Amino acid sequence: MKYFGTDGIRGRVGEPPITVDFILKLGWAAGSVLAERSDDHPSVVIGKDTRISGYLFESALEAGFSAAGVDVRLLGPMPTPAVAHLTRSLGAVAGVVISASHNPYEDNGIKFFSGQGEKLDDDLQAAIEQRLELPLAQVSPHRLGKAVRIDDAIGRYIEYCKATVPYGTRFEGLKIVVDCANGATYRIAPPVFRELGAEVVPIHHSPDGLNINADCGSTYPQDLARTVVAKKADLGVAFDGDGDRVVLVDHTGQLIDGDQILFVLANARQANGGLSGGVVGTVMSNFGLEEAFRGMGVPFERSQVGDRYVHERLRDRGWVLGGEASGHILCLDRATTGCGIVSALQVLEVVARTRQSLAALAAGMKKYPQVMINVPVVGNARDLISDNPVLDKAVHEAEVALNGFGRVILRPSGTEPVVRVTVEGAENELITRLADELAGAVTRAMKG
């Protein structure tokens, strides 16, 4: 597609397509397509994260939807999964999130949810892109959409999150550091954990429009780790700017990433009979996760990178648990999309119920060391590595060297002109050498 990527439309503010005129027309295009497919006067829900450009694009989307005859319900700063949930709860035909997730404030983006709170299907995205090629045609004045602000959106989502753990679950006695990344979770995550009984130490919870994800949150958990140790907390929780990712830190300051979170949840669910099939990771999930699940007898499959693809594979298999090492965790029996708060609550429930530390719960999975090298390429990275005999031979030789205790991945980046060379294995020296050799092979293949 021309505009839609794997996670909506994203880019640098002020540069096409993230400009006010394009976003206004995007609101109109999406609104007119949705109105044509609706039996009555439709409405959409719009939420945003805390970056300063959200004000600009919120107004532009509101105008575009109104011009298409679609009512707008404004949520203000809300986590992406909260928009998905409230889209369903409020009976809207679609939800829209203004966010660039874990990116810095200079970036922004638009992503859509269906009326069921799931990512828009490709057909609807294609229809919106086609409509963007037409001149904007405003409906007659009496059909213009109205806009209202949903004042109790925060309270609604707090109650929803708390309801995703069994009734009566309490976190008394747990001290938790919560890093909100100066993002969309800052008014929701601390109250959720506090109302369930935990002692909460919030950090990076004062957004100013410019500090979202700045040296904090799930992509920079170092400050969280330092604070957990300094405050003698039981664990720490870090979200990204829009709240759909989460990583944890145990009481020693050790990072617990998305792969380890999946292990903890799957292990607990298998023990109480609630696993419901297998688990879906991605091609980048650590080999140690696959090995742990093999030992547990838990089916494990890999999808392409991206929570959208994880979701599709879960739906195809009828499973409920999956995610990525980055902290996108899907518990489809708890939420329709990945929610950092909901995922953290599931882990905390295991901690509280078993009375085991997070470190002890995660200890059953051995993470294999990983080396990744980004190799700059000229031209199409995907074409370079597809059906390339030289690279196929290099990969095979590396796999032989690993002798079944590791993995080799060559993957074109979806956002940069690079090939990502990744090698996992038990020995750091070996995987470093193999990664260097493969990176050299990619460079030679590019030069012909």
- Cα within 13 Å of Cα(261), Cβ side: 34
DSSP 69: T
pLDDT mean over 282-311: 93
pLDDT of residue 447 exceeding 70: yes
Which of 362, 378, 406 finishes a domain? Answer: 362
pLDDT mean over 239-267: 98
The band of 73, judged by pLDDT with boundaries at 50, 70 and 90, is: very high
pLDDT of residue 448 exceeding 80: no
DSSP, collapsed to helix, strand or coil, labels residue 278 as coil
Shared-domain flag, residues 147 and 289: no
Between the CA atoms of 112, 115, 121 and 123, what dihedral angle is there, to the nearest 10 degrees?
A: -100
Shared-domain flag, residues 349 and 235: yes
pLDDT mean over 45-51: 98
pLDDT of residue 389 exceeding 90: no
29 or 121: whose pLDDT is higher? 29
Residue 417 in any domain: the answer is yes
Domain harbouring 13, CATH code: 3.40.120.10
pLDDT mean over 327-354: 96
Domain that holds residue 122: 9-151
Shared-domain flag, residues 142 and 178: no
pLDDT reported for residue 385: 82
- Cα(74)–Cα(78) distance, integer angstroms: 10
Query: Nearest 5°: CA angle at 344, between 312 and 249?
Result: 115
- What tens digit of pLDDT does each residue of 369-387 get? 999 999 998 877 788 888 7
pLDDT reported for residue 413: 76
Shared-domain flag, residues 418 and 312: no
Shared-domain flag, residues 281 and 374: no
pLDDT of residue 127 exceeding 90: yes
Selecting among 101, 285, 326, 343, the annotated active-site residue is 101
pLDDT mean over 225-234: 98
What are the backbone angles phi and psi of residue 134, rounded to the nearest 5°? -95, 155
What's the chain's average pLDDT? 95
Shared-domain flag, residues 221 and 267: yes
pLDDT reported for residue 434: 95
Does the active-site annotation cover 101?
A: yes
Residue 4 in any domain: the answer is no
Q: What is the DSSP code string of 152-196? A: THHHHHHHHHHTTS-TT---TT-EEEEE-TTTTTTTTHHHHHHHT
Shared-domain flag, residues 86 and 188: no
- What tens digit of pLDDT does each residue of 79-104 get? 999 999 999 999 999 999 999 999 99
Residue 285 in any domain: the answer is yes
- Cα(137)–Cα(50) distance, integer angstroms: 31
Residue 407 in any domain: the answer is yes
The band of 181, judged by pLDDT with boundaries at 50, 70 and 90, is: very high
Residue 181 in any domain: the answer is yes
5 or 196: whose pLDDT is higher? 196
**Could you give the number of structural domains in the chain?**
3
Residue 278 in any domain: the answer is yes
pTM of the model: 0.92
Shared-domain flag, residues 213 and 356: yes
418 or 421: whose pLDDT is higher? 421
Shared-domain flag, residues 13 and 111: yes
Shared-domain flag, residues 161 and 253: yes
Helix H segments across 37-99? 53-67, 80-89
